[in-house]
A = this chain, B = another copy of it.
Amino acid sequence: MRLSDLQTPALVVERRLLESNLDTMAAALPGRRLRPHVKAFKTTALARLMADRGHTGFTCATIREVEGMAAAGLGEDLLLANEVLDARRLGAVAATGARVTVAVDSDVTVEAAAAGGVREVVIDVDVGLPRCGCAPADAGRLADLARSKGLEVRGVMGYEGHVMLVEDPAEKLRQTQECMERLLAAAADVGGDLVSAGGTGTYRENTWATEIQAGSYCLMDTTYASAGLPFAQALTVLTQVVSTSPQGWAVANLGLKSLGMDHGNPTIPGALVWFCSDEHTTFSELDVQVGDLLRALPAHVDPTVALHERMHLVDDDEVLETWPVDLRGW
């Protein structure tokens, strides 16, 4: 099967670049030093390549991701790095023998974890990104509460998301350290072995966490590509030119339904992208004919993947495998 046999738009992953990204990260953060975040690719076939490299614990963002990873036999150690108010589906996964740990940051979420049959939690700590996470000073109390409910407290997590794209390396390091000092203070009160944090943007700087929750490194996108990381853009969206205009623009069949748009327009190498509609991208400055195939680079990988049913592993023009994007939804 060739690229030209695929229905466009289609997610296409270049095997050499993917493997290079996986190997580079596995060398930097071997085995359980990395807890890959499946939200960035939502595909158990790709998670399996990480497990094959020794990363057998995974981070999830949704209950569905936990369920899908366990169903795929990748449930050795799944951390739902997110708060849930109804943990019964997580308890059901744990009852099948998978190891399921959920983040808690309030009395209510501690009680939900216990009521849902989850046995293990981490205390989610606010390290500076205004999102989930308790105040560091409250972490010890929450851990005590969790233990009083019969829960095992494995440690802490915190996400320095606001530091991922800081440009100056020294400043990025300084801010990462500041965040992790907050997390380590909480960890001292909480106990347990886990200090789970970080992402693709800080995987080198964050030497304080016991494990890094990076996910985007395997596929990458144009936003992360500007951050000076040793990972290649392995994911493109294959698209076909469906129309050209005598006035100089052309139209490809990818758009708002096939691209995460929160970080802006996709990049079509060599072209000037004008705008995206539901199923179209209008561009100029690239000499194309109707029917030409192009490979566009999405600005943000995570929401892009969430729009597709499948991704295709390729060697240049040859399609090697087609993987279901089987962790979508909630």
List the interface of chain A (C-beta within 8 A of B): 7-10, 39, 61-63, 82-85, 105-106, 108-109, 126, 130-133, 135, 161, 240, 242-247, 249, 251, 253, 256-258, 260-262, 274, 276-280, 282, 290-291, 300, 302-303, 306-309, 328-330
Contacts and interface: CB of A to CB of B under 8 A. Distances in A.
Q: Which 3 A-B pairs rank lowest in CB-CB distance, beginning with the nearest?
A: A261-B262, A83-B242, A132-B243
B9 A131 contact: no
15 contacts: A7-B330, A10-B330, A61-B278, A106-B244, A109-B243, A126-B245, A130-B247, A130-B249, A256-B262, A256-B300, A257-B302, A260-B261, A261-B262, A262-B276, A307-B307
Contacts of A245: 126, 130, 135
Contacts of A9: 330
Contact of A132 (B39, B108, B280, B330): B280
B61 A131 contact: no
A105 to B, nearest CB: 6
Identical copies of this chain, number? 2
A306 B307 contact: yes
B260 A256 contact: yes
Given A62-B279, A278-B39, A302-B257, A290 B242 contact: no
A5 to B, nearest CB: 10
Contacts of A105: 243
B300 A108 contact: no
A252 to B, nearest CB: 11
A225 B189 CA distance: 50
A291 B256 contact: no
Nearest to A133: B243
A126 B8 CA distance: 23
Contacts of A161: 277
A61 B279 contact: yes
Q: Among the interface residues A135, A161, A278, A291, which one has the most CB atoms of the partner chain B within 10 A?
A: A278
A135 B7 CA distance: 28
Contacts of A329: 308-309
Contacts of A280: 131-132
A106 B278 contact: no
Nearest to A292: B85
A62 B240 CA distance: 14
A85 B242 contact: yes
A8 B84 CA distance: 10
A62 B328 CA distance: 21
Given A61-B279, A130-B274, A309-B329, A85 B135 contact: no
Nearest to A308: B329
Contact of A240 (B85, B135, B260): B85
Nearest to A81: B279
A276 to B, nearest CB: 7
